[in-house]
Amino acid sequence: MSTILIPGWAVPLGLYDPYNSDRIVDFGFSQADKHTLAVPAELPDFSYTPDESEKASGGNLVVAHSLGALVALRISQEFSDFGRFVVISGFARFTSAEGYDHGKPDSGVAMMLGALRLSSGMVLRKFYENMCHPAAFDIHPPGKPDVQRLAAGLEHLRKTDLRSSLKDIANPFLVIHGDSDRIVSPRLAEFLATNIPGAKLEIIPGAGHALPFTHAEKCLSLINEFQTSLP
């Protein structure tokens, strides 16, 4: 049995240390963010292939944050008895679409892509500011950003849509979201929990997109309850 942590876009990997994972998927967003538990993601499709012991276990725990939710959903869809999944500040589609009005406008992500190539530092500072709101919490890049990987991550957010396959998920899911999230509307969390069979939803008052760090104790408590409530 393994605990696998799948991070969000541009988030320093060390921030996830309280979750005591066995491995952390590394999307390579920073050239200097080298974590002892990091395993490289498969690029350019931002996927993670479990090893043979994880496939055989059936008792794994996957904790995914933001963009990492897309990777977690794909694992769950491919392996129907993989284990338990916790999605924090996540979604099945990031951008808005017909009948899905609470996603981010594609034009906004396109503007972010253009700005990223001009000044990655400015883009990351603004992103971290919005991510941490409303908490008094600071995030700083761990080193030189990999602009190409960051841009690929944004493109992945623009293009990936897993909504139609949610109904086929068989693994247990816990969806945790902050009600003050500026990056991902709580309505996207509600969509996830409504469309994944048996999923449980927890909305945390006063929490933003940096929920797994600003409210780590609460998240860990909910994860423990989720783990112990299942056979």
pLDDT tens digit string along 174-192? Answer: 999 999 999 999 999 999 9
Q: What was the pLDDT predicted at 188? A: 98
User: Which string of DSSP letters, residue by residue, matches 151-188?
Assistant: HHHHHHHHH-B-GGGGGG--S-EEEEEETT-SSS-HHH
Please tell me the predicted confidence (pLDDT) of residue 27: 95
pLDDT at 96: 96
Residue 157 has pLDDT above 80, yes or no: yes
Q: What is the pLDDT of residue 31?
A: 83
**Among 227, 219, 229, 204, residue whose Cα is nearest residue 18:** 219
pLDDT band for position 141 (50/70/90)?
A: confident
The model's pLDDT over 43-70, given as tens digits with 9 standing for 90+, comes to 888 999 998 888 887 889 999 999 999 9
Across 94-110, average pLDDT: 95
How many whole angstroms separate alpha carbon 29 and alpha carbon 53? 27
Confidence of residue 118 (pLDDT cuts 50, 70, 90): very high
Which residue in 7, 23, 127 sits closest to 70, CA to CA? 7
What's the pTM value of the predicted model, to 2 decimals?
Answer: 0.96
- What's the mean per-residue pLDDT of the chain? 94
pLDDT tens digits for range 73-98: 999 999 999 999 999 999 999 999 99
Answer whether residue 231 shows pLDDT above 80.
no
Please give the CATH topology (third level) of the domain spanning 3-229: Rossmann fold (3.40.50)
